[in-house]
């Protein structure tokens, strides 16, 4: 089974400042990792994913995350945030091969990012 811990429930930051949203996971098998974003009263949108290959993955809107296997982490970063980045961000994990968790996503509790002008 997998578990995900998002270390900050809320992160306030000023516009154009850098931000890091922290995510740690636990798993006995190899994993795929995801970040989803949820705007108020909406569903989840895929932000970026790590399946294999380069441990640094990027989104089209300037976010990046790095898979660190030794630290079991997948922190999300952005060098300069905008007001429009205000949303809730969820880190998720799924087993990459075999086991009872194959094919299902396990989510963290979410981090609310609030960008102030």
Using CB under 8 A, list all residues that contact another protein. 4, 34, 36, 42-46, 49, 51, 90, 92, 96, 100, 102-110
| 71 Cβ contact partners less than 8 Å away, ≥ 6 residues apart | 24
In the complex with another protein, which residue's Cβ is closer, 15 or 49?
A: 49
> Are the C-beta atoms of 101 and 1 separated by less than 8 Å?
yes
From the CB of 18, what's the least distance to another protein, in Å? 25
Beta bridge partners of 12: 114
In the complex with another protein, which residue's Cβ is closer, 7 or 15?
A: 7
Pairing outcome for strands 87-95 and 31-38? antiparallel
For residue 53 the two structure tokens come to 């290959």
In the complex with another protein, which residue's Cβ is closer, 70 or 100?
A: 100
From the CB of 102, what's the least distance to another protein, in Å? 5
From the CB of 74, what's the least distance to another protein, in Å? 15
In the complex with another protein, which residue's Cβ is closer, 19 or 93?
A: 93
E runs forming strands in the chain: 3-6, 10-14, 19-21, 23-26, 31-38, 44-50, 56-58, 64-68, 73-78, 87-95, 106-107, 111-116
């Amino acid at each position: 089974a997998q578990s995900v811990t998002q270390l900050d429930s809320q992160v306030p930051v000023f516009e154009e400042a850098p931000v890091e949203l922290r995510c740690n996971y636990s798993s006995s098998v190899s994993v795929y990792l995801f970040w989803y974003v949820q705007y108020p009263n909406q569903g989840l949108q895929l932000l970026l994913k790590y399946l294999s290959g380069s441990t640094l993955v990027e989104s089209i809107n300037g976010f990046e995350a790095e898979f660190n296997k030794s630290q079991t982490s997948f922190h999300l970063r952005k060098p300069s945030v905008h007001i429009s980045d205000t949303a809730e961000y969820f880190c998720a994990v799924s087993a990459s091969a075999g086991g009872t968790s194959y094919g299902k996503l396990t989510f963290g509790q979410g981090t609310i990012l609030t960008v102030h002008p």
